[in-house]
Structure 1
Amino acid sequence: MKSASSKIDASTLLTSTRILLFALSAGVLVASLYYVQPLTSMLAASFGVSVTHAGYLVTATQIGYVLGIVFLVPLSDVLNRRKLLTWMLLAKIAALLLAATSQNIYIFAIASVLMGITASALMVVTAMVASYAPDHSRGRMVGTVMTGLLLGILLARTVSGIVAHISGGWRSVYVLAAIVVLALLLMLRHILPDEAPRGKLQYGKLMASLGDIIRQEPLLRQRALFAGLGLGTFSVFWTGLTFLLSGAPYHYSELQIGMFGLAGATGALAANTAGRMADRGYARQATWLLAIASLAGWAFIGLGAYSLTLLLIGIVLLDVGVMGLQVTHQSIIYKLAPQARARVTTVFIASGFIGASAGSALASASFAAGGWMALCAVGGAMPLLMLLVWGKYSFDQRRLAQA
């Protein structure tokens, strides 16, 4: 049997319009991880728990996402991706409807984990784009898809805040999301190729091969660590922002809190720029600049408790840094092990969202322990650690080159 990739014309599959649809898919799927953030006070009131406890629902979705990345995404290296995506999106719709009908926080938490697991379908889409994209434009194409993903992360807050405000409740957010995912499923089934399987499914060996890839690829290990630190600092901020804005001195509503996603969305422009820089061989320079931007963002965010202007400047800097770094990392890792891009994606994204899960939990814990400044200290430590590791690596590389 010939491989599916030999029968599929990449120029037909990856037209500009379809790349935009894949970017939209990534944004819609990842959004379900973040609808909850501006709704935490409403959920807390609805379920009779504290806002801090409701904040842990963000962690539940991210834990689910890591589970999906680790246990489902590697299947796309061997299975028919059209069928795999179909089943994952149907399960996504069911999870969203379960969330919409939840009567207590425990059912909602289960739905949150399921929403996270099924959101991992977006990485099946990303790995497919990386597989078919030509080498000279892979960074740009993956960067476009990642722009959609990052816009989804940020605008999810705005959308959920607006929908909850207009409808007067949080349940309509998840009903509307289920309808959107159904429409997305129909569009993707229309354009995705019906691939032949690319290998025999031996699930145990497939999972074991993840360890082999980690051992064999030092650059993957490095960039996976950076992904964890980047999404960790990102999650600390966006989980904690609700705590700051819902209390003194702001006392903002869910709608107003959701609108802050628009400020962060300006950072998504960095994703495409970073992809183009990587295609041109400037990944090293981009890593320095974007990590410094992330750290500088926290300096302004720390003063955000006293100044809305400084808070907004910090949001833009942090999001430019984190979003640009994610695409820079992916431009590097997708040059490794071309036959196993879904598993490379699994290692990278799982690391990122382990960091994100830890970040959301640390945001709740640090804010409860020491308020906004304690949260900022935790968030700022992550890009600082990234800079220290990257600096040591760069120094070691120069020393080896001079030896």
Structure 2
Amino acid sequence: MTQTLKHPHRTTPITGVPPRLHRGLLLLMSAATGLSVAGNYFAQPLLEVIGRDLGLSTTMAALVVTAAQGGYALGLILLVPLGDLVERRRLAVLLFAGTAVFQLVSALAPSAPVLLAGTAATALTSVAAQVVVPYAATLAAPAERGRVVGTVMTGLLLGALLARTASGTLSELAGWRTIYWLNAVLVAVVAVLLWRFLPRLHTRVGLSYPALLWSTLGMFRHEPLLRWRAGIGALSFAAFSVLWTSITFLLTGPSYGWREAAVGMFSLVGVVTALTTPIAGRFADRGWVQRVSGIGTAVLALSWPAIHAGAFAPGWLVAGVVLFNVAQGAVLNAGQNVIYALSPENRNRLNSAFMTACFLGGAAGSLLASVAWSGGGWSGVSLLGGALSATTFALWALERVRAKRSALPVS
């Protein structure tokens, strides 16, 4: 079957689109995104034990996390736009296969350089998740796109959240390499299943690869709503990174004194986010995407007093983290629904631009979090996170005012 999508400057045929996205395929895509991104978070609760095993200093061990961030950033910029150039099933399967191979490299790593290389390469190919999300959005009927994106993002969020729990638990049971072996096998199985069940999908954009990358940057110039949503996403991800980078310091510090496995288990609090993200998608399908954005950004800011109170009160900490994560998931889902509606044939490049902005915001948040913790402890972290979240809400409100004044399309 061939579907033709309109664009102001050209007509682009998209081949291989089925009449509907079946539930089984949707769940497979959701699980695939989670397994793909999980590898980027395995090392976070394992830095101490990895350092002991490979004879690394604390600073050198921390470079494992930096390698994951750098590899993922390159993948967002260099690989995700390829979904608008090459056949998408083949691209997705190759990236998943690469992730499985590179996780084996990490599992077998005899030294720090090999582990760093394996981590960076795994992160590079793990952007397969960001190929699958717009893939699902393209296969979905317009009236169901919000729910579909929310379901796929549920898998991605669960993978990111549960990776720390799984790695911490398996490390204590069978060593830190076990999680890499296990996930490599699971990702390889997913690659085979995607090759078997994903429909072929190809957008003929008629661009060379360098022109494709350049046009990805050009999206910011031509799509005002992308600029606004990228700004909102970057600020919300910065606040997200501030919270999850600093919370390890709090939970392992004098106030709580938890061990690595317990810190990893705390990530289960974020599972509520994954369960509520599809609900936000359903609201978007009903035309309430701006309400979801407004309420979500407001709750981001309002959650920080409870998070701050959680310095010595676990109940407040759990409540604040749940509120924050639910709001973050809603804001992300709303932003993706807005940008995917802008230009259907360019969804991979739009997603690349949007997620790169979000990732850069997250990286800045991680850097600022260490400064805030060193200078002001949990109070400094809470002040920083609250300020970033309040600015996120202000940016959304400013976008709404400007949209009404200039008659920008409301998605």
Post-superposition CA distance 1:307-348 (Å, at most 9, x none): 111111111011001111110111111101111111001001
* Equivalent in the alignment of 1:322: 328
1:111 counterpart (91, 106, 118): 118
Is 1:395 aligned to 2:401, yes or no? Answer: yes
The 2-side partners of 1:107 and 1:376 are apart by 37
1:351-389: CA deviation from partner (whole Å, max 9, x where unpaired): 111112222233334323432222222222221111122
TM-score (norm 1): 0.92
User: What is the SS of the residue equivalent to 1:252?
Assistant: coil
User: In the alignment, does 2:215 pair up with 1:176?
Assistant: no
**For the residues of structure 2 that align with 1:60 and 1:363, how far apart are their CA atoms?**
18
1:273 is the counterpart of 2:279: yes
Is the 1:59–1:358 contact (alpha carbons within 8 Å) kept by the matching residues of 2?
no
Match of 1:249 in 2: 255
Q: Partner of 1:235: helix, strand, or coil?
A: helix
Is residue 351 of structure 1 aligned with residue 392 of structure 2? no
CA displacement, residues 98-127 of structure 1 (integer Å, 9 cap, x when unaligned): 222334444333322212111101111111
* Number of equivalences: 398
Once the 2 structures are TM-superposed, how far is the Cα of residue 56 of structure 1 from its aligned partner? 4.8
Shift in Å, 1:160:
1.2
Provide the TM-score with structure 2 as the length reference: 0.90
Match of 1:198 in 2: 204
Is the 2:277–2:329 contact (alpha carbons within 8 Å) kept by the matching residues of 1? yes
Change (3 A) 1:362 1:117: same
**Partners of 1:37 and 1:242 within 8 A in 2:** no
Preserved contact between residue 246 and residue 252 of structure 1 (Cα < 8 Å): yes
CA contact (8 A) 2:16 2:202 kept: no
Q: Which amino acid letter does the alignment assign opposite residue 221 of structure 1?
A: R
Aligned with 1:75 (options 54, 78, 82): 82
Runs of 5+ in structure 1 lacking a partner?
none
* Unpaired segments ≥5 residues, structure 2: 4-12
Residues 2 and 265 from structure 1, CA distance in 2 versus in 1: closer, same or farther, beyond 3 angstroms? Answer: closer
Q: In structure 2, what is the Cα distance between the partners aligned to 1:216 and 1:180?
A: 40
CA contact (8 A) 2:228 2:399 kept: no
1:93 aligns with 2:84: no
Q: Which has the higher helix share?
A: 1
Q: Deviations over 1:113-163 (max 9, x none)?
A: 212111101111111111121211111111110111111111111111221
Q: Answer yes or no: is 1:32 the counterpart of 2:39.
A: yes
1:239-388 map, 5 Å:
239-388=245-394
Report if the CA contact (8 A) 1:79-1:201 is conserved.
no
1:8 aligned to which of 17, 27, 33:
17
Checking the alignment, whether the CA contact within 8 Å between 2:252 and 2:259 is kept in structure 1 is yes
